[in-house]
Structure 1
């Protein structure tokens, strides 16, 4: 009897130790984007309805539903910075953001000072996010310096647009004290330009941007160029920028406008399981022909790791890009 009792106790202790070990390993894996959480539906945080994220998010949600067993939906939002904080709170699974904002969030800088976002990983970068300084031909504004004293929309406080606007003003020796700053969405900005309540607006989005296209239907739009030496100064101080161009013909403009861009990227909560994120990544990057927006042509697996910066890649995305030979 004693021998039987001893054997039972040994088996019981062994079972308990195995459960404890399994729980310990599971916690480590989940924290590093390993097994993670299997889900049946995903929500994609985009931006305002007048921007580029929103229509792209809708197209990607449709692709995910068609190509995987997941249900998916796109949600309008306050875009990059808000999206990172929403993912931090666990209230969505996937989001669009700018690469510069992702870096700020990861490192707890600028609008994320003391508020690091550490539970988010990258799926991949998508296309250039062009900083567009929008006005009209009749405004008399020809340069960034001409914004002095004007009523200018610089995006919502803490937004990616706001950071871009402040940095561009900075290299031109200007601050918000030099302009009449307004914190408006894309649609509000273009409506304000049309009504005459504001003179110009900073809009960071893929071109063509829906809100600006709507403005161009009724007004002669002008995109303000940034001087080459100021572009170089900006890139030297903030290396996540790259020189970019709004091509002639966009919004009906007659000549190229030189400016800068960051990159749009997709990010995901790190507690989603590897298979789910693998399937999502594969679905999106192998079905870009189903994206009717002009930016769909720029979304390629071959360039999806360009400009990803210090944001870690989710293991599911890493598995897909490794299979494709993308480094």
Structure 2
């Protein structure tokens, strides 16, 4: 066997040996038209490149509820989920059948509850949704949990509307086609699905009143009010809405050293992440512990305490 061929075979053997040793993981995200998927992708890339024997890929899922359940069942190493969903999981509150073994690794950025209607719609307020055909989000999504909870806090139940169960893309397509009267998307300001819809259709986003915002926060402390400036989407006026922080969730029994390493690597490369996902400007060490009611994972808490001393 000539020397060149022998070296090539040895090189391939080493490569396959390395791949066999590397742990393969997934991070649960959401639909490809939302923010979760590209964020999960860049996190997976950074961890894979900077943690030894670690290989991760982003997985398309139904988002918050599915991700939280899979993390608790150890079918995903990490997942992105809305804070209220993680809190409900840790407490064993519906839609979860029992307490889930989950913990925040760190908080990411706030999600805004955005009810979209055509610009010429006769729906002017949240209360006007009664009797209308409204998409509340895909089953198993944080949008579904949040929109349902928020409407219930304002005295509007599923029976008061013609509830539809559509994901981001299906919701905006249905609004554009006039198949539904309104649709909820709970995502970052500037989320792709709404941005794309606003470029091709004239839309409005319903603004919550001060009284409605107070009722929502009193019903669930995970929500805080946020004022979104005009032209955050093309042609859309300023609006006020409830917001909830997104959380990077892991199993609370995850290895402490791995959780510490994942947190440390993520924040060491946060500038790189910011260049891909602009809303991660909110992902700071100071904001790590934004979700009240659930303790950070011990590994990320170790990193937090080191940096905040």
Normalising by the residue count of structure 2, what TM-score does the alignment of the two structures yield?
0.87
Q: Which one of 293, 300, 318 corresponds to residue 284 of structure 2? A: 300
SS of aligned partner of 1:302: coil
Task: Report if the CA contact (8 A) 2:137-2:164 is conserved.
Answer: yes
Query: Following superposition of structure 1 onto structure 2, how do residues 132-281 of structure 1 map, counting pairs within 5 Å?
Result: 132-281=114-263
Residue 303 (structure 2) pairs with residue 320 (structure 1): yes
Do residues 57 (structure 1) and 36 (structure 2) align? no
Residue 101 (structure 1) aligned with residue 96 (structure 2): no
Q: Which has the larger radius of gyration?
A: 1
Deviation at 1:134, TM superposition (A): 1.1
Unaligned runs of 5+ in 1: 1-37
How far residue 276 of structure 1 moved from its aligned partner, in angstroms, is: 1.6
Unaligned runs of 5+ in 2: 1-20
CA contact (8 A) 1:133 1:223 kept: yes
Q: Provide the rounded CA distance (Å) in 2 between the counterparts of 1:89 and 1:68.
A: 23
Q: Distance in 2 between matches of 1:168 and 1:305?
A: 23
Cα pair 1:44 1:94 within 8 Å, conserved: yes
The equivalent of 1:286 in structure 2 is: 268
Q: Secondary structure at the match of 2:230?
A: coil
**Which range moved further: 153-162 or 38-47?**
38-47
Aligned-partner Cα distance in 2 for 1:39–1:91 = 17
Cα distance in 2, alignment partners of residues 102 and 305 from structure 1: 13
Partner-residue secondary structure (3-state), 1:282: helix
Partner Cα distance (2:200, 2:145) in 1: 29
Q: CA deviation at 1:137?
A: 0.4
CA contact (8 A) 1:127 1:263 kept: yes
1:84 alignment partner, one of 54, 58, 68: 68
Match of 2:55 among 60, 67, 71: 71
Separation in 1 of the partners of 2:23 and 2:295?
24
Moved beyond 4 Å, runs of 4+: none
Asked if 2 retains the 8 angstrom alpha-carbon contact of 1:44 and 1:74, the reply is yes
1:325 positional shift: 1.3
CA contact (8 A) 1:289 1:296 kept: no
Aligned residues: 286
Q: CA RMSD in A?
A: 1.8
Pick from 26, 29, 32 the counterpart of residue 43 of structure 1: 26
Partner of 1:116 in structure 2?
Answer: 99
Q: 1:164 to 1:271 in 2, by over 3 A?
A: closer
1:88 and 1:235 map into 2 onto residues whose CA distance is 27
